[in-house]
């Protein structure tokens, strides 16, 4: 059975968005903005990140500990665009600024305004053969390029460019193979499109949790899912990658290719362009879920219930995601997403949460795609950012620290803008066995410790606020880490989730002892460093 989806087009490119940044498709469950100072290199082609807020990040060439972002130094990339237009087949289209169809605008736009850039052209490849031609041309001309899948990238320059923007929207097929128990998913799809395509089939996959997240970025960076307690990470459910390697070779990577199989599962955008993911199918019925909102009068009751749920893991089909967020009026709102992978949860699973007096409750039985579509997110066009704080357990004392952080930073950041910036601390509660569903992979570097990836998500309006917002990310993350360590949690070497990581995160902090092997694989697969023409975390 073959099911296709037409990609929705969004028009959010705005005047003045000449951010000299780009990158390959590498996004997480959520989005971004960054205040940075850029310094040109001596060759005029590679810009190095000189400073981020008040911190200094040393990057040179192929960065050892962070990101390398090739940027425009005034060079005209139109010749590269015209060369691509001349070589590709009629299955592929090339668009330029001012294109009346709106395709150029849609190809360059992202959820976060600071993740968008005005490329010299956008290309929508329609065949694997054309992707080979595009890779060959950008490599030969040393033109920066980016791959956009969902447009949900959290870091500026991770899926946008001043060079050639490749939009994968035409790789949009979902094909169910009942005999093999697998589903082929095009690398240009978003997870909500996949769920819509599969709605009514009785099948699903282990994918993203909210609207707009790209299949490629989430999977190549790890992938936390509503179903991870039952089936593991998204990358644990891939059985094959159809990939165009940097030298133009097209191959399907399975566990028979030990090195690339290891590297593609969590190693990000360093090893080629993935055009199709073959994933295990999982059964899908209606689900039960929704959101509860509580006032701060009941914070102690909510903290107690979350800590109990996190410690006891009552049912692998059950998930709760608590959050502490500010309101436009300056107060704190306690949110709780509840999910059960079945039409109705057994008695006792969510009873503690339902017994607390709530301001809003919207839980119900519904289709899986309806549940995902019901989860609100900030609209396109804001300045967005994520950061990650890995811990081993959300204890009552640590949850109180997170709550106090939400109060402190909400008040401190409020004077920056009117309405004030949106600040939210969002916490994952996972079954302690969730990493046992998979085998060794690029990420996580160890499956021995089931860290919980707490996320800080901030959204704001003005560039003038960037430095203060980034400073808040670093300071709040440090406070929560220190509190977890003080209560005895061994998180000294806790690995950070790449899809939530700020772009100044050292690769060692995410990939640990796997870094050396990943560098060796990259050197073998991409000796000319073609993928170095993209942004993202680099080995």
**Which CATH code, of 3.30.465.10, 3.30.9.10, 3.40.640.10, 3.30.2350.10, is assigned to 173-284?**
3.30.465.10
Q: Are 526 and 56 in contact (CB under 8 A)?
A: no
At 376-388, the pLDDT tens digits run: 877 777 899 899 9
State the pLDDT at residue 157.
Answer: 87
Helix and strand tally (H, E) in the chain? 14, 24
Going from N- to C-terminal start, the domains of the chain cover 18-170, 173-284, 287-507
Between residues 66 and 250, the one the model is more confident about: 250
The 10s digit of each residue's pLDDT in 268-305 is 999 999 999 999 999 999 999 999 999 999 999 999 99
For range 148-160, the mean pLDDT = 90
**CA–CA distances in Å: residue 376 to residues 72, 209, 319, 433:** 35, 11, 17, 29
Non-local CB neighbours of 461 within 8 Å, separated by 6+ positions: 382, 383, 417, 421
Q: Would you state the structure tokens that stand for residue 423, as one six-digit string?
A: 């600040």
| Nearest C-alpha neighbor of 497 from the set 393, 386, 388, 392 | 388
203 CB burial (10 A radius; 0-12, 13-18, 19+): middle
Question: Position of tokens 């959820």?
Answer: 111
The Cα–Cα gap between 518 and 516 comes to: 5
The whole-angstrom separation of Cα 214 and Cα 113 is 17
pLDDT-derived band at 366, boundaries 50, 70, 90: very high
Distance CA 192, CA 196 (A): 6
- Token duo for residue 89: 């087949």
38 within 8 A of 57, measured Cβ to Cβ = no
Average pLDDT, the chain: 86
Task: Tell me the pLDDT band of 329, cut-offs 50, 70 and 90.
Answer: confident
**Residue from 273, 270, 20, 242 nearest 134 by CA:** 273
Q: Which CATH number fits domain 287-507: 3.40.50.2300, 1.10.3720.10, 3.40.462.20, 3.40.50.2000?
A: 3.40.462.20
204: pLDDT confidence band, cut at 50, 70 and 90?
A: very high
Claim: this prediction has a pTM higher than 0.95? no
**pLDDT score, position 294:** 97
Interhelix angle for 128-141 vs 78-87, to 10°? 150
Percent of the chain whose predicted confidence (pLDDT) is above 90? 79
5 confidence band (pLDDT: 50, 70, 90): very low
CB atoms within 10 A of CB 253: 22
How many angstroms separate the CA atoms of 167 and 145, rounded? 11
* Domain 18-170, CATH: 3.30.43.10
State phi, psi for 419 to the nearest 5 degrees.
-65, 160
């Amino acid at each position: 059975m073959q099911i296709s989806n037409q990609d929705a087009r969004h028009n959010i490119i705005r005047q003045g968005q000449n951010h000299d940044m780009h990158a390959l498709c590498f996004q997480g469950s959520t989005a971004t903005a960054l205040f940075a100072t850029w310094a040109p290199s001596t060759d005029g082609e590679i810009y190095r990140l000189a400073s981020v807020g008040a911190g200094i990040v040393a990057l040179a060439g192929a960065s050892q500990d962070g990101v390398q972002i090739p940027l425009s130094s005034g060079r005209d990339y139109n010749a590269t665009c015209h060369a691509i237009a001349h070589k590709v087949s009629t299955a592929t289209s090339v668009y330029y600024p001012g294109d009346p169809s709106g395709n150029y605008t849609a190809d360059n736009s992202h959820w976060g305004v600071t993740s968008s850039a005005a490329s010299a052209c956008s290309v929508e490849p329609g065949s694997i053969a054309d992707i080979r031609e595009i890779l060959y041309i950008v490599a030969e001309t040393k033109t920066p390029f980016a791959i956009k899948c969902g447009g949900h990238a959290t870091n500026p320059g991770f899926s946008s460019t001043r060079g050639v923007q490749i939009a994968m929207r035409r790789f949009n097929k979902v094909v169910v193979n009942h005999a093999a128990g697998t589903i082929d998913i095009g690398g240009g799809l978003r997870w909500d499109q996949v769920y819509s395509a599969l709605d009514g089939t009785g099948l699903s996959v282990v994918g993203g949790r909210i609207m707009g997240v790209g299949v490629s970025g989430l999977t190549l960076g790890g992938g936390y899912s509503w179903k991870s307690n039952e089936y593991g990470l998204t990358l644990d459910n891939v059985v094959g990658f159809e990939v165009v390697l940097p030298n133009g070779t097209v191959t399907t990577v399975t566990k028979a290719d030990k090195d690339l199989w290891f590297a593609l599962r969590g190693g990000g955008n360093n090893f080629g362009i993935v055009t199709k993911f073959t994933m295990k199918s999982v059964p899908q019925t209606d689900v039960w879920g929704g959101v509860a909102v509580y006032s701060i009068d009941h914070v102690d009751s909510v903290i107690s219930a979350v800590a109990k749920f996190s410690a006891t893991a009552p049912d692998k089909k059950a998930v709760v995601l608590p959050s502490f967020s500010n309101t436009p009026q300056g107060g704190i709102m306690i949110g709780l997403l509840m999910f059960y992978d079945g039409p109705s949860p057994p008695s006792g699973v969510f009873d503690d949460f339902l017994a607390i007096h709530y301001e809003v409750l919207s839980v119900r039985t519904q289709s899986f795609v309806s549940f995902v579509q019901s989860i609100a997110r900030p609209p396109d066009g804001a300045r967005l950012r994520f950061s990650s704080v890995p811990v081993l357990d959300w204890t009552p004392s640590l949850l109180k620290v997170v709550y106090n952080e939400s109060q402190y930073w909400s008040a401190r950041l409020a004077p920056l803008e009117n309405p004030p910036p949106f600040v939210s601390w969002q916490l994952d509660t996972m079954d302690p066995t969730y990493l046992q569903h998979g085998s060794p992979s690029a990420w996580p570097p160890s499956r021995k410790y089931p860290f919980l990836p707490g996320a800080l998500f901030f959204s704001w309006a003005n560039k003038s606020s960037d430095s203060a917002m980034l400073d808040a990310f670093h300071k709040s993350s440090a406070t929560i880490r220190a509190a977890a360590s003080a209560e005895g949690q061994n998180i000294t070497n806790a690995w950070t989730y790449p899809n939530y990581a700020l772009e100044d995160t050292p690769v060692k902090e995410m990939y640990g002892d796997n870094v050396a092997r990943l560098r060796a694989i990259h050197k073998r697969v991409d000796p000319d460093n073609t993928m170095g023409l993209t942004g993202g975390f680099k080995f």
